[in-house]
Copies of this chain bind each other. A is one copy, B any other.
Amino acid sequence: MAKPTPLSGFPELLPEQRFVEQQVADTLRHTFELHGFAGIETRAVEPMDQLLRKGETSKEVYVLRRLQEDSAEGHAGIGLHFDLTVPFARYVVENAGKLEFPFRRYQIQKAWRGERPQEGRYREFTQADIDVVMKDELPFHFDVEVARVMAEALSGLPLPPLRLRVNNRKLIEGFYRGIGAADPQAVITIIDKLDKLPEEQVAALLVSDAGLSDEQAAQCLQLATITSTDTSFVERVRALGVQHELLDTGLQELSAVIDGCAAVRSDRFEVEASLSLARGLDYYTGTVFEIYMVGFEFLKSVGGGGRYDALASDGRSTYPGVGISFGISRTLVPLMSRGLLAADRKVPSAVLVALVDEEGRADSDAIATALRARGIPCEVAVSAQKFGKQIRYAERRGIPYVWFTGADGGHEVKDIRSGEQVAADPATWTPPNDDLRPQVLIKETEQ
């Protein structure tokens, strides 16, 4: 075959990069499971009518057909899912009788969108979602729980600092109602543009499209400037002098989420009440989230979510939920393509067992077996080249140790980074824990 070229929008990773992605998924999964979230996978495809329920995404859907498909077969059509929420909603309704509610689930899977590829936006991408759904009613404390679980999971990742921005729809809607806005949803939609348009333009839109007075528009923009990493935002909102019952509820809820994440906060992980955050989608009804990677704000949000009072409904029951999605490809691929993130070796092996001659292969295999029995990944040299060549073989792959057997049957292991070589017994020798598996190396960028 001629040398193939990459497909734009379908990033693939080298082994030393895939190791990082795998470790990120493992870390997330470990935290999710510690909190009682069960993992599921849904099929990659959904019926087209499910995928097209939200009209705005229709242009991005990949439609499937079998190459030899007889159109008489009458397939209504299936397509690849473009997120993990639509399939999850369908899975919940389909299996409602077999699931226990509240249903805490995580899902780490690929999704596909046919949109124009650009950095951070791919046609194939992996994301990690957590959601809690219940039947009919979902207590508010789950909003705090999903925020805390995702914050805890993300704060353990080998990434630049992340920022979880939180707001509450009730808070902003109550505020807009409190100042007399006739159509709060219109205000939300316009405020959501603050990260794309200059403030004056947003103010003009609030007047022209949401029917606000100049003063009302100014009040909305004042609210949007408020951010805090603790609950001091409450006082600042109160200082604006607006009264509404829904605003009170929203302030309480947002405070509870911010307080609930206090233990996770660090210089690697920020949690911030951010009152400009609106998230345009109209199915959010309370808490809303967005995740940003510090220094990579040009990627826009790398995750988000919120509370929705009807994820799904089957006529008899509705299933309210709250969840957050984190974009694994969206964060990792830009870091990797800049050379900022990779594992320190290309293979899992911690040890290369050298080969004296081909007749000695069984002996080298036995050493490798003894090491593996104690959880030490290793491989045996391909051929009985000169030891210098075998050491260079290990070097090229980043394997830290080479194991030698002397003519007298004695064993020695060499740390090829330091050159130190010591006598060792395959039944007991163990490398330092940090050498057992590849380590993730991240270069911090100048900011």
Chain A interface residues (CB < 8 Å from chain B): 1-7, 10-15, 18-19, 21-22, 33-45, 47, 50, 58-69, 78-80, 89-91, 93-95, 98-100, 102, 104-105, 110, 112, 114, 124, 134, 139, 141, 263, 312-315, 346-349, 361, 369, 372, 375-379, 382-383, 396-397
Contacts and interface: CB of A to CB of B under 8 A. Distances in A.
B44 A44 contact: yes
Contacts of A65: 62-63, 65
Contact of A36 (B14, B39, B349): B349
A5 B59 CA distance: 25
A410 B384 CA distance: 66
12 contacts: A4-B50, A13-B40, A14-B98, A44-B112, A44-B124, A59-B66, A59-B67, A61-B67, A62-B65, A99-B346, A102-B382, A104-B379
A2 to B, nearest CB: 7
Contacts of A99: 14-15, 346
A59 B63 contact: no
A63 B58 contact: no
Contacts of A139: 382-383
Contacts of A37: 348
Given A139-B383, A382-B139, A4 B93 contact: yes
A33 B36 CA distance: 28
Given A19-B38, A100-B347, 18 more contacts: A4-B47, A6-B94, A7-B78, A13-B40, A19-B39, A34-B348, A36-B378, A38-B347, A38-B348, A43-B124, A44-B44, A44-B112, A59-B66, A60-B66, A61-B67, A69-B114, A100-B397, A141-B361
A347 B61 CA distance: 33
Contacts of A396: 100
A45 B93 contact: no
A44 to B, nearest CB: 6
A68 B59 contact: yes
Contacts of A112: 44
Nearest to A33: B348
Given A124-B43, A382-B139, A38 B346 contact: yes
A115 to B, nearest CB: 9
A105 B19 CA distance: 12
A41 B19 CA distance: 10
Nearest to A3: B314
A377 B36 CA distance: 6
Contacts of A33: 348, 377
Contacts of A377: 33-36
B64 A62 contact: yes
